[in-house]
A = this chain, B = another copy of it.
Amino acid sequence: MTDTPFLAVDLPVLQANIARAQTWADARGLRLRPHVKTHKCIEIGRLQVEAGASGITVATIGEAEVFADAGFNDLFIAYPLWPHPDARARLAALASRRRVLIGIDSLDAARGWSGVGARALVEVDSGHHRSGVRPADAGQLATDAAASGLDVVGIFTFPGHSYSPTGRLDAALDEQDALAEAASALRGAGVEPVIISGGSTPSLEGTGFGMTESRPGVYVFNDAQQWELGSCTPDRIALTCHATVVSHAGGRLVLDAGSKALGADRAPWASGFGRLLDHPDARLVILSEHHAVADLVGEALPPLGSTVRVVPHHACNAVNLADELAVFDSGRRVGTWAVAARGRNS
Given contacts A84-B305, A133-B249, contact A4 B288 (CB under 8 A): no
A125 close to chain B: CB less than 8 A: yes
A283 close to chain B: CB less than 8 A: no
What is the minimal beta-carbon distance from A269 to any residue of chain B, in angstroms?
A: 13
The answer to whether B60 and A244 have CB atoms under 8 Å apart is no
What is the minimal beta-carbon distance from A232 to any residue of chain B, in angstroms?
A: 19
B residues less than 8 Å from A37 (CB atoms): 289-290
A106 close to chain B: CB less than 8 A: yes
The quantity of this chain's copies bound in the complex is 2
Q: Of the listed stretches A75-83, A167-175, A328-336, name the one at the interface; the rest are far from the partner chain.
A: A75-83
B residues less than 8 Å from A322 (CB atoms): 343
Bound-complex Cα distance A257 to B290 (A): 24
Other-chain residue from B261, B288, B343 in contact with A345 (beta carbon distance below 8 A): B261
The answer to whether B125 and A250 have CB atoms under 8 Å apart is yes
In the complex, per-residue mask of A250-283: 1 if CB is within 8 Å of any chain B CB, else 0: 1000101111110111100000000000000000
Given contacts A2-B84, A82-B245, A346-B6, contact A130 B263 (CB under 8 A): no
The answer to whether B246 and A305 have CB atoms under 8 Å apart is no
The answer to whether A291 and B131 have CB atoms under 8 Å apart is yes
B residues less than 8 Å from A125 (CB atoms): 249-250
Interface size class of A (residues with CB under 8 A): 35 or more
Given contacts A59-B290, A293-B130, contact A321 B320 (CB under 8 A): yes
In the complex, per-residue mask of A100-133: 1 if CB is within 8 Å of any chain B CB, else 0: 0000011011001000000000000100011111
B residues less than 8 Å from A81 (CB atoms): 246
Nearest B residue to A261 via CB reads B345
Bound-complex Cα distance A84 to B321 (A): 23
A231 close to chain B: CB less than 8 A: no
A26 close to chain B: CB less than 8 A: no
B residues less than 8 Å from A345 (CB atoms): 5, 256-258, 260-261, 290, 321
A238 close to chain B: CB less than 8 A: no
Other-chain residue from B59, B131, B287, B305 in contact with A254 (beta carbon distance below 8 A): B131
10 smallest A-B Cβ distances: which pairs?
A264-B265, A2-B84, A2-B86, A264-B264, A82-B246, A131-B249, A131-B247, A59-B290, A3-B346, A80-B247
Instruction: Jot down 21 A-B pairs with beta carbons below 8 A, ordered by A.
Output: A3-B346, A5-B345, A37-B289, A79-B246, A79-B256, A79-B290, A80-B247, A108-B304, A109-B247, A112-B305, A129-B249, A130-B288, A131-B254, A256-B345, A259-B263, A264-B265, A264-B314, A289-B317, A321-B321, A322-B343, A323-B343
Inter-chain pairs besides A81-B246, A264-B314, 13 sampled, C-beta below 8 Å: A3-B86, A6-B346, A80-B246, A109-B246, A109-B304, A112-B305, A130-B288, A130-B293, A133-B249, A258-B345, A265-B265, A289-B316, A289-B317
